[in-house]
């Protein structure tokens, strides 16, 4: 897409047509400026087929806010909409509505509360709550979901892969297999969820991270096509990057050619006073090869250089590799822990495309509308009880048990304030017979999850740096039961309603 | 991301770090302007788990060309690279290299041939062939793959869903679940591969399509929260959009509330001389409901209004729904063919995220390098024979059999020209013992697939409009064996080598 087209396609028209036709209908009914409230939440954890998530990592808010700050209906958009025709040939959008849009078609009237990025989050918990004039709050839906769904999906996958790799350093490599320009958001989400660095230069620049990388097979191939050798290629690379010498050793044969050549070059570097960085294995049996490579590097006096693994890595593949290293390394005279502690992962496709589950099912539902100065709760009924929305303006708390572990996320009425001296009744969101009561002795803390971000369009929140977001992630994981963190078959985390919210929901269901 | 950051993250730095470090190495070796050739191809069809593709639909070229035309190293990029430091603290990029990049860091020296968008394509066939100075041809890799992989993935999925839905009209609805800004490319690819329209307003604007949509549940909810009814909401919508009145009927209860209310409103519209457009079903058993809805609409005198289905539709779901309609409709007095011929599909998540297989494995491999004015073929060896690249500058033909159906894609040396009077020997790309011989009587045509697009940076190709790309897709599908088009368990299409290319490949493998 050409740059000028991009501005047109990524501005306020980055939405679904029905948002605009509904907005005009609200305008026609005089409802367009009626204060409304929408909740954003996702319905279910990603399920990757043979394994599934027991938690997600929230991400995407800052870039959504950037978009909201710049998107508005300008003359170009108004002119475009004026030209649209219905099937019958009549104009779809009338002049009075377009005039209103030209004046008011921005997000400066919206108030937004949100769960911060990097936090562990669960289904059906409002992660973003939007209040403001009905028409613009409705138009926001598509872009809000688009920005938040994908980054949360990728941050979650990154966190899982990091877990499968036991927290060893992880580089995001996925731009080439990523979803076109969305890959930039994916790289950011990866940095939030679990990657230490990305190879994506543009995103690294914008985020203030050093971009990372090694070299490709094509470099070795180029030397060979000119009658030179893998060793010549490695030497040239080492000479140019003596302090960042990470060599890809599988262009010809990892153990027969790549590793002996790398060791020769490392010895030359060492003599010149440099510390070689490592080798990268990109094919073959990575568990077996990493043991053999570690042994050869140890024998050659390089027990500390990194062994970077890449090639279709995800949480299960890493888990399996590390398990096999633990079982087999000693048979070859390699200490498994020492080997694991020198591993680094390059993760591409599986992360950026969230292999196995490639879209988060976040939704944006109207939960209240003002009438006569009073909020009227709204509900969406469904034959599937899980799809019946939780109505009204709500508060969201995370409750920690006596061990300091999160035991439930609780949705209640905005007017409620749980009393830490009282026991807390937690109702299952749909099952009438399922509830539990937490005595005060079992509660070590009750934490509100939503914070103020926009107040009538004014930013009242400092978007934290990635480093801070990662601290939040780690702090939340620390307080998350290990059963919920399991990669396969995780324990179900409780998301509950207070009795008052439960009663409101049942009243509304009956009234429909 | 902020607009100004976006320019930084989507320009020439939209690449992997190693492309830049390798480019500097080539510069240091004096190889940076050495003519090189790279082939882009994908290795395998998308495999969605319980079904897989037997062909892909090529897409993404025009937007890649747009990117190449605008991306270049400008002062901001040079300054950024100058500031990057190695682990040891030294600058990574030297001034002489940066000066060269500032002068020559663009794609104006590249020659590019490609398979046009919309064509049916197969694994291991070069779809894009880049020739030019080694450094810049290398730097292009990441962005080229990023632009082509995702659009081809989505165009392929769209084509399959269209097939599962027997070619009935299809609307792309996926922006909210799409991969952030990549969703725009996904909408374009959907329009190429099988969608008739998209709800994405920005992309519709840029592509010159009318954006399409209905209304959301929230519209009905808003009326209800204010003490009004579903019928009131439908009436208001019909009054405003009398010629495009498509009503979502499942907010309360499809058969008990939505359909009776829609029929009342349709009758009112009809009296005023308008033709109602249709109803949309977004939940429940879509096969059962569409039969019941058709019956009620028929009984009410609306046998022609559309029935739009949405909710997690993909090729298998549609196939199953249509199969069930064929089996069951007559039991309810509904003609199955007439019902199928009034269906329209709204397709969201499954399409934009290519559910089941979310990344195409396209690669970009160096196949030749000039030395002393002569092209030297380059090869990438692998323990996996399928991953050994096909070396050298190549020609690509599609061979049609006596029925006019495509029977094989054939890679040969650029210097070869198959003689239609001779029989054609087709070798399996990796299996020494597998080949077949096509006699001239079995060949109705031999068509070169690659066309000239850029000649030393100059565009020598008119990118066709979407309508033309779709004609190409339909023409190719017409000539593709129905066995290869099967949604489940497709027949394997042959991609073969000529004897001369086979010999060159074997010589190079032996020489490594």
pLDDT per residue as tens digits for the range B364-385: 999 999 998 899 998 887 777 8
Rounded CA separation B479/B407 (Å): 9
Q: Which residue of B has its CA nearest to A10?
A: B202
Mean pLDDT of A352-381: 93
How does the average pLDDT of chain A come out, rounded? 96
Query: The domain B213-347 belongs to what CATH superfamily?
Result: Aldolase class I (3.20.20.70)
* Chain A interface includes B58 (CB < 8 A): no
The confidence band for A512, taking pLDDT boundaries of 50, 70 and 90, is confident
Instruction: Count CB-CB contacts under 10 A for residue B427.
Output: 22
A199 near B18, Cβ under 8 Å? Answer: yes
Q: A211 to chain B: which residues are within 8 Å by CB?
A: 16-17, 84
| Cβ–Cβ gap B87/A243 under 8 Å | yes
Partner-chain residue, chosen from A149, A240, A377, that has the shortest CB–CB distance to B177: A149
What was the pLDDT predicted at B421?
85
Q: Is the pLDDT of residue A383 over 80?
A: no
Q: What does the domain layout of chain A look like in residue ranges?
A: 1-32+72-105, 157-352
| Cβ–Cβ gap A185/B186 under 8 Å | no
Q: Which of B225, B373, B509 should one mutate to test binding to chain A, selecting the residue with the greatest count of A CBs within 10 A?
A: B225
What was the pLDDT predicted at B35?
96
* Chain B interface includes A152 (CB < 8 A): no
Q: Is the pLDDT of residue A169 over 80?
A: yes
Of residues B387 and A138, the one with the higher pLDDT is A138
Q: A117 to chain B: which residues are within 8 Å by CB?
A: none
Q: Is the pLDDT of residue B388 over 90?
A: no
Partner-chain residue, chosen from B206, B284, B359, that has the shortest CB–CB distance to A1: B206
How does the average pLDDT of chain B come out, rounded? 96
Q: A146 to chain B: which residues are within 8 Å by CB?
A: 175-178, 180, 183
Q: Is the pLDDT of residue B512 over 80?
A: no
Mean pLDDT of A449-473: 97
Partner-chain residue, chosen from A10, A141, A213, that has the shortest CB–CB distance to B202: A10
* Chain B interface includes A99 (CB < 8 A): no
- Which two three-digit tokens encode residue B420? 């239609």
Q: A1 to chain B: which residues are within 8 Å by CB?
A: 63, 66, 184-185, 188, 206
Give the contacts of B23 (CB within 8 A, at least 6 positions apart): B32, B97, B101, B135, B136, B138, B139
Of residues A421 and A228, the one with the higher pLDDT is A228
| Cβ–Cβ gap A378/B185 under 8 Å | no
The confidence band for A137, taking pLDDT boundaries of 50, 70 and 90, is very high
Judge if pTM exceeds 0.80.
Answer: yes
The DSSP result for A254-293, as a single string, is IIIIIHHHHHHHHHHHHHTT----EEEE-SS-HHHHHHHH
User: Which backbone phi and psi does A282 adopt, to 5 degrees?
Assistant: -125, 10
**Percent with pLDDT over 70 in chain A:** 100
Give the contacts of A197 (CB within 8 A, at least 6 positions apart): A169, A171, A172, A191, A204, A209, A210, A211, A212
* Chain B interface includes A465 (CB < 8 A): no
Give the contacts of A346 (CB within 8 A, at least 6 positions apart): A170, A171, A173, A199, A214, A280, A282, A308, A309, A310, A313
- Which two three-digit tokens encode residue A339? 């080997």
Partner-chain residue, chosen from A138, A180, A183, that has the shortest CB–CB distance to B151: A180
Buried b (16+ CB within 10 A) or exposed e, B40-62: bbbeebbebeebbbbbbbbbbbb
Interface ipTM: 0.97
* Nearest-neighbour CA in chain A from B436: distance (Å): 31
What was the pLDDT predicted at B120?
98
Query: What is the arrangement of strands in the sheet containing A362-371, beginning at the earlier edge strand?
Result: A374-377, A362-371, A35-42, A128-133, A111-114, A451-455, A458-459
Rounded CA separation A197/B84 (Å): 14
Q: B24 to chain A: which residues are within 8 Å by CB?
A: 240
pLDDT in tens, A495-507: 999 999 999 999 9
pLDDT in tens, B130-173: 999 999 999 999 999 999 999 999 999 999 999 999 999 999 99
Rounded CA separation A409/A391 (Å): 16
What was the pLDDT predicted at B381?
78
Q: Which residue of B has its CA nearest to A85?
A: B210
pLDDT in tens, A277-328: 999 999 999 999 999 999 999 999 999 999 999 999 999 999 999 999 999 9
For residue B91, the 8-state DSSP code is B
Q: Is the pLDDT of residue B420 over 80?
A: no
| Cβ–Cβ gap A241/B11 under 8 Å | no
Rounded CA separation B6/B450 (Å): 33
pLDDT in tens, A58-109: 999 999 999 999 999 999 999 999 999 998 899 999 999 999 999 999 999 9
| CATH number for the segment(s) A157-352 | 3.20.20.70
| Cβ–Cβ gap B358/A355 under 8 Å | yes
What was the pLDDT predicted at A225?
86
* Chain B interface includes A96 (CB < 8 A): no
B469 near B115, Cβ under 8 Å? Answer: no
Rounded CA separation B379/B388 (Å): 7
Q: Is the pLDDT of residue B331 over 80?
A: yes
Mean pLDDT of B492-502: 96
Q: Which range is least confidently modeled, A386-400, B125-139, B259-273?
A: A386-400
Of residues A23 and B50, the one with the higher pLDDT is A23
Query: Helix, strand, or coil here: A114?
Result: strand
């Amino acid at each position: 897409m050409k740059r000028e087209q991009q501005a047109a396609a990524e501005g306020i028209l980055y939405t679904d047509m029905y948002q605009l036709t509904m907005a005009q209908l609200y305008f026609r009914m005089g409802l367009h400026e009626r204060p409304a409230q929408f909740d954003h939440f996702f319905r279910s954890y990603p399920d990757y087929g043979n394994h599934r998530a027991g938690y997600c990592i929230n991400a995407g808010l800052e870039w959504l806010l950037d978009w909201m700050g710049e998107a508005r209906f300008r003359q170009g958009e108004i002119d475009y909409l004026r030209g649209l025709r219905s099937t019958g040939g009549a104009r779809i959008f009338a002049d009075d509505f377009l005039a209103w849009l030209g004046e008011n078609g921005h997000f400066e009237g919206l108030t937004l509360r949100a769960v911060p990025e990097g936090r562990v989050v669960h289904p059906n918990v409002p992660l973003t709550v939007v209040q403001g004039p009905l028409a613009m709050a409705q138009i926001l839906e598509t872009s809000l979901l688009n920005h938040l769904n994908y980054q949360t999906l990728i941050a979650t996958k990154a966190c899982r892969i990091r877990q499968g790799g036991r927290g060893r350093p992880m580089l995001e490599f996925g731009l080439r297999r990523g979803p076109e320009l969305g890959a930039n958001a994916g790289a950011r989400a990866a940095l939030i969820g679990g990657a230490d660095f990305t190879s994506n230069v543009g995103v690294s620049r914008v985020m203030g991270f050093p971009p990372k990388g090694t070299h490709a097979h094509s470099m070795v191939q180029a030397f060979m096509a000119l009658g030179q050798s893998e060793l010549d290629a490695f030497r040239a690379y080492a000479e140019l990057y003596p302090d960042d010498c990470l060599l890809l050793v599988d262009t010809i044969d990892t153990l027969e050619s790549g590793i002996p050549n790398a060791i020769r070059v490392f010895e030359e570097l060492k003599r010149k006073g440099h510390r070689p960085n490592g080798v990268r294995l990109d094919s073959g049996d990575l568990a077996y090869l990493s043991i053999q490579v570690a042994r050869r590097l140890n024998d050659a006096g390089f027990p500390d250089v990194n062994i970077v693994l890449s090639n279709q890595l995800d949480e299960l593949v890493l888990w399996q590799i590390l398990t096999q290293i633990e079982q087999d390394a000693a048979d070859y005279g390699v200490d498994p822990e020492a080997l694991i502690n020198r591993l680094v992962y390059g993760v591409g496709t599986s992360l950026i495309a969230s292999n196995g589950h490639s879209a988060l099912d976040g939704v944006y539902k109207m939960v209240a509308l003002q009438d006569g100065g009073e909020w009227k709760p709204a509900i969406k009924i469904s034959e599937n009880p899980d799809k019946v929305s939780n109505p009204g303006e709500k508060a969201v708390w995370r409750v920690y048990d006596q061990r300091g572990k999160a035991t439930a996320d609780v949705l209640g009425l905005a007017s409620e304030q749980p009393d830490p001296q009282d026991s807390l009744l937690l109702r299952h969101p749909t099952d009438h017979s399922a509830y539990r009561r937490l005595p005060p002795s079992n509660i070590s803390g009750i934490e509100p999850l939503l914070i103020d971000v926009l107040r009538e369009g004014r930013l009242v929140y400092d978007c934290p740096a990635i480093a801070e977001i990662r601290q939040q992630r780690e702090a939340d994981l620390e307080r998350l039961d290990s059963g919920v963190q399991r990669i396969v078959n995780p324990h179900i985390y409780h998301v509950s309603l207070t009795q008052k919210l439960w009663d409101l929901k049942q009243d509304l269901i009956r009234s429909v």
